[in-house]
Every structure is written in C-alpha cells, then in structure tokens.
Copies of this chain bind each other. A is one copy, B any other.
Amino acid sequence: MNAPLPASTTYAKSLNAALLEMMREDERIYFLGEDILDPYGGAFKISKGLSSAFPDRVITTPISEAGFTGLATGMALRGLRPIVEIMFGDFLAIAADQIINHMAKFVTMYGRDLEVPVVVRTPMGGGRGYGATHSQSLEKIFLGTPNLTVVAPSHAHDPGQLLRNAVALGRPVLFIEHKMLYPETLLASGGALMIEPLTDEPFPTMLMKNFSRGAADVLIVAYGGMSRLLAPLARQMAEEEINLAIALPALLSPMTVAPLLPLAAQCGRVLLVEEGTTGFDWGAEVAAQLYAATYKTLKAPIARLASRAEIIPTSTAGENAMLVGAADIESKILELLA
C-alpha cells in the first residue's frame, strides 16, 4: 500500500502528482475549492494542471467554505469521491458544523454504516508572516470527533500516497498539510538519518533515527510540519552524539500510542512537539496515554512543547517568539538529558 518514495520530489509535487493520477484512475473523484483552476492552480498550487486535465471534475467554488464542504458531503453520499481544498486551514472553523454535525454524523447516525468518502485537505501552520487568521494549526478542534479521521503527513511520509489512502478509506478524512512543507524535498534515509515506517497502516507512523548503533536517548513524538524542524536538528545532534528516535505519526485521530511503547520504554525519556497552541492539544492525549501505558517506567516526566497560547503575530520576531522553534526543541532535549 505504501510504495517507495520517488526520488527527490517535494511535498507539494507529491500531492499534485497523486491528485492527477487518482483522477485519471477513478472517475468518481472530484476536486473542489476556491481558486483551484488553471492557470492559477490554487493558492498553494497543489491543484496545478488538474482542471486542464479534468475540466469537468474540477469545480471552482464560491467563497462559501461551509457551503462547499456540505456540498462535498452530499456528493459523497451519492457515490462520488470529492476532495475539498480549504484554502487556509483557519477557515475550517467556518465549516465546523458541516464537518462535525453533518459529514461525520452521517457515517453512523442512521443506525447503519454509510459510505461517506470525502477528504477535506487544507494547509495549516505559521512561519510565513500571514498573521493571526492565516497561520493557525486549528486541527486540534477536530481531534476526537467520532467518525472523523484526521491525518497529517510529515515530509518523512509520502503525502501523495497518504492522500490516496485517505480517498480509499470511504469515510471522512481531514487531511492537514503544513504550508511550510510544500516546497520541501521529501526526506529519505541518508547521511545521519535513517527513516523507516514504524507501522504499516494506511497512515503510518514514520520513524526517523539519527544513530545506527546504540539506543535512543530521547524519543520525540511529533507530526506534520514539525519534521521540518526535527530533521536538521537530528542531523546536528548526531554530531553531538545525542541519539534521537523521532516518531512521526500521520494518523492524529483516532490515535493509539501502542506502536510507541517499545521505544518509550527503551529510552525512558519522551518529548512531544507540535505547532498548535499549548493546552488541550494533541500532546495532551498522547502524554496521557503514554503515561498510563508506561506507568512509572519512564526516567523523567514527559516533556511537552507547543506554541504559546496566544494569537500569532505577523512580524518575524513576534512569530518566532510565539511559535515553537528548533531552539525550543533543542533546549528541551538537553533539559530532558540533564
């Protein structure tokens, strides 16, 4: 199911290629969103070329996020397989009712399982100075929603393959892409880094290690855009002989920590990193589950890193101070090892 990564493609290109391929293979797939037609091809160009190849199945929508998300749900209930693009993840809040009280409900609300094969993809995250309403990591409001699968590939994943798996799932998937990952070349093993899947699900957890002998000093669990900070940090720390095992789950919700337990037990020190604001975050659930499963066997309390619980400033200095950064991660690692 998870084919080997094509050599040196970017995160954005992987998604774009998967879309083109899927639409070629399956007539039921439709692509919907704002400003997605060629030559523009979407605000982040993920749909570039799609409308030229499939003019009938690529539908540019009015600026009505709730409306066209609901539209996609209706299409999915009637046998099509729509993929929706929300231009910025921040706008998901507009479609929250359609996702929570419609799309996800239909799967089981009627006392039997209905197929609702719809994927909502969206770029999240800061780092580009877009300011308070265009930089958030709002996926956390959807975590734990019954019948909703939330997926966020890192660039150690093959995001295109994961998108294919999301479409194949037959149930609603919220597919989170960090906007800073788009231009990144997908990671592959090489140099100090070893990358391999830790699980073999449609949305696997990837394991990135910066050592080949010995054991990990710290297990880092992170997702999505955090791989952009963690890969260089892992390389750097390899030189300092700090052994990092970095688990990057793509499946955020529903979630189990089971695949992480051997690693957690092995190194006894765990750090969770996410870009969303701190408090009632992804890491809370991961930490709570990990603590319960490793009870009293860890060497130190689990460390959690997230961004400050504030709005995201536009200025570079403000944004850097507010968002979790590589320096924060580094000092937490050192703290854990102290």
Contact = CB atoms under 8 A, between A and B. Distances in A.
A292 B108 CA distance: 37
B288 A302 contact: yes
B277 A141 contact: no
Interface string A133-172: 1000010111110110000000000000000000000000
B291 A285 contact: no
Given A93-B101, A97-B91, A146-B310, A284 B295 contact: no
Counting chain A residues whose Cβ lies within 8 A of the other chain, the interface size class is 35 or more
Interface in A73-99: 90-91, 93-94, 96-97
9 contacts: A96-B97, A96-B141, A108-B310, A141-B142, A146-B309, A146-B311, A147-B311, A280-B285, A288-B291
Interface string A194-214: 000000000000000000000
Contact of A284 (B91, B254, B285, B300): B285
Nearest to A310: B146
A302 B309 CA distance: 26
Contacts of A300: 295
One complex includes copies of this chain to the number of 2
Contact of A282 (B91, B278, B280, B287): B280
Contacts of A184: none
A304 interface: yes
A60 B281 CA distance: 36
A91 B97 CA distance: 7
A283 interface: yes
A100 interface: yes
Nearest to A90: B101
Given A144-B281, A295-B300, 14 more contacts: A93-B101, A96-B96, A96-B141, A105-B132, A109-B311, A144-B279, A144-B309, A253-B280, A280-B282, A284-B284, A285-B288, A287-B288, A288-B304, A291-B301
A296 interface: yes
Interface string A2-40: 000000000000000000000000000000000000000
A59 interface: no
Contact of A253 (B142, B143, B279, B295): B279
A172 B288 CA distance: 29
A105 B311 contact: yes
A291 B91 CA distance: 35
Contact of A309 (B96, B254, B288, B296): B254
A292 B302 contact: yes
Nearest to A300: B295
Nearest to A296: B296
Interface in A251-273: 253-255
A296 B335 CA distance: 19
Contacts of A281: 144, 285
B142 A108 contact: no
Contacts of A285: 279-281, 284, 288
